[in-house]
Amino acid sequence: MKSDGIDAWAILPALLAAAVAAPLVGLPLSYAVAPGALSDFSGLVPEAVGATVVVIAGAGAGTLVLGTALAALVSFCDFPGRGWIEWALVLPLAMPGYVFTLFALGLDLPGIRSSFGAVCVFTLVLYPYVYLLARAAFLAQSRTLLEAARGLGLSRRAAIARVGLPLARPAILGGVALALMEALADFGTVNLLGVPTFTDAIYQVWFIGFDRDAAMQLATLLVSVTLTLLVLERLARGRARYHQLAARGDLTPPVRLRGPAAAAAVVAPLALVGFVVAAPLAQLAAWSIEAVREGLLAPEFATAARNSVLLAAMSALLVPLAAILLAYGARASRSRTAAALARTATIGYGLPGSVVAVAVIVPLSWIERRIDGVAGTGLLLTGTVIGLFYAYLVRFLALAWGAVEASLTRIPRHLDEAARGLGSDRLDVLARVHVPLMRAGLATAALLLFVEVMKELPATLLLRPLGGDTLAIAVWQATTESLFETAALPALLIVLVGLLPVAAMLRLSGRRGAELEATQAAGTWAEELEQPEVVRA
Amino acid sequence: MTEVRLRGVSKSFGRVHAVRELNLDVERGELVAVLGPSGCGKTTLLRAIAGFERPDAGSIVVSDEEVAGPGRFVPPERRRIGMVFQDYALFPHLTVTANVAFGLANRPREEREALTRRTLELVGLQHKSSRHPHELSGGERQRVALARALAPEPAVVLLDEPFSNLDATLRAGLRREVELILRDAEATALLVTHDQEEALSLADRVAVMREGRIVQVGAPEEVYVRPASRWAAQFVGEVNVLAGVAHGRGVETELGLFDLRAPASGAVHVAVRPEQLEVRADHDGNAEVVAREFRGHDVLYRLRHEGGRVVLVQLASLELYEVGARVFVRPAPAAVTTVVD
Q: Please state, in angstroms and rounded to a whole number, the distance separating the CA atoms of residues B60 and B55.
A: 9
Q: How much is the average pLDDT of B28-49?
A: 94
Closest CA to B49 of B60, B35, B58: B60
Q: What is the pLDDT of residues A199-251, one digit of tens each?
A: 999 998 888 877 888 888 899 989 888 888 878 777 766 655 554 444 444 55
Could you state, in order of their start, the residue ranges of all structural domains in chain B? Answer: 2-235, 240-339
Predicted local distance difference test score (pLDDT) of residue A230: 77
pTM: 0.78
Predicted local distance difference test score (pLDDT) of residue A403: 83
At B199, which helix (H) or strand (E)? helix B196-202
- The pLDDT confidence band at residue B113, using thresholds 50, 70 and 90, is very high
Shared domain for A230 and A115, answered yes or no, is: yes
Q: How much is the average pLDDT of A246-269?
A: 78
- Residues with Cβ within 8 Å of B217's Cβ and at least 6 positions away in sequence, in order, are B24, B205, B206, B207, B208, B223
Predicted local distance difference test score (pLDDT) of residue B334: 80
How many beta-carbon contacts under 8 Å exist across A and B?
84
Shared domain for A13 and A151, answered yes or no, is: no
- Phi/psi of residue B171, nearest 5 degrees: -60, -50
Predicted local distance difference test score (pLDDT) of residue A247: 44
Backbone conformation region of residue B109, classed left if phi is above 0, alpha if psi is from -120 to 50, else beta: alpha
Q: How much is the average pLDDT of B268-281?
A: 92
B268 at interface of A, judged by CB pairs closer than 8 A: no
Shared domain for A361 and A379, answered yes or no, is: yes
Which of A279, A294, A309 is the last residue before a domain boundary?
Answer: A294
For B150, the closest chain A residue by CA position comes to: A422
> Superfamily assignment of B2-235 in CATH?
P-loop containing nucleotide triphosphate hydrolases (3.40.50.300)
For B136, the closest chain A residue by CA position comes to: A518
Shared domain for A205 and A321, answered yes or no, is: no
- The pLDDT confidence band at residue A457, using thresholds 50, 70 and 90, is very high
B92 at interface of A, judged by CB pairs closer than 8 A: yes
Predicted local distance difference test score (pLDDT) of residue A516: 35
Q: What is the pLDDT of residues B296-310, one digit of tens each?
A: 888 999 999 998 889
Predicted local distance difference test score (pLDDT) of residue A268: 95
Which of A242, A272, A294 is the last residue before a domain boundary?
Answer: A294
Q: At A268, which CATH number? A: 1.10.3720.10
Percent of chain A whose pLDDT exceeds 90: 37
Most A-contacting residue of B44, B49, B77, B131 (CB-CB within 10 A), to test interface:
B77
A433 at interface of B, judged by CB pairs closer than 8 A: yes
Least confident segment among A84-88, A205-209, B304-308, B311-315: A205-209
Domain span holding position A116: 34-294
Shared domain for A263 and A354, answered yes or no, is: no
**Residue predicted with more confidence, A341 or B197:** B197
CATH number assigned to the domain covering B240-339: 2.40.50.140
**Residue predicted with more confidence, A522 or A111:** A111
Q: Which of B90, B93, B134 sits opposite A436 (nearest CB)?
A: B93
Shared domain for A388 and A458, answered yes or no, is: yes
- The pLDDT confidence band at residue A519, using thresholds 50, 70 and 90, is very low
Q: How much is the average pLDDT of A416-433?
A: 91
Q: How much is the average pLDDT of B97-119?
A: 93
**Residue predicted with more confidence, A210 or A112:** A112
Predicted local distance difference test score (pLDDT) of residue B158: 95
B328 at interface of A, judged by CB pairs closer than 8 A: no
Please give the tally of structural domains in chain A: 2
DSSP per-residue string spanning A283-329: HHHHHHHHHHHHT-S-TTHHHHHHHHHHHHHHHHHHHHHHHHHHHHH
Least confident segment among A204-213, B68-77, B276-285: A204-213
Least confident segment among A46-50, A55-59, A76-80, A530-534: A530-534
Shared domain for A328 and A469, answered yes or no, is: yes
Shared domain for A25 and A56, answered yes or no, is: no
Least confident segment among A314-318, A515-519, B30-34: A515-519
Which residues of chain A lie closer than 8 angstroms to B78, CB-CB? 1, 423
Residue A46, Cβ neighbours under 10 Å: how many? 9
Shared domain for A256 and A344, answered yes or no, is: no
* Helical ranges in A186-294 per DSSP H: 188-193, 198-203, 212-238, 259-273, 279-294
Distance of alpha carbon A496 from the chain centroid: 17
- pLDDT exceeds cutoff 80 at B23: yes
Cβ separation B72–A3 shorter than 8 A: yes
Paired strand residues for A528:
none
Predicted local distance difference test score (pLDDT) of residue B27: 95
Shared domain for A101 and A177, answered yes or no, is: yes
A417 at interface of B, judged by CB pairs closer than 8 A: yes
For chain A, give the mean pLDDT. 83
- pLDDT exceeds cutoff 60 at B228: yes
- pLDDT exceeds cutoff 70 at A443: yes
Q: How much is the average pLDDT of B167-178?
A: 83
Shared domain for A22 and A41, answered yes or no, is: no
Shared domain for A256 and A315, answered yes or no, is: no
Paired strand residues for B214:
B209
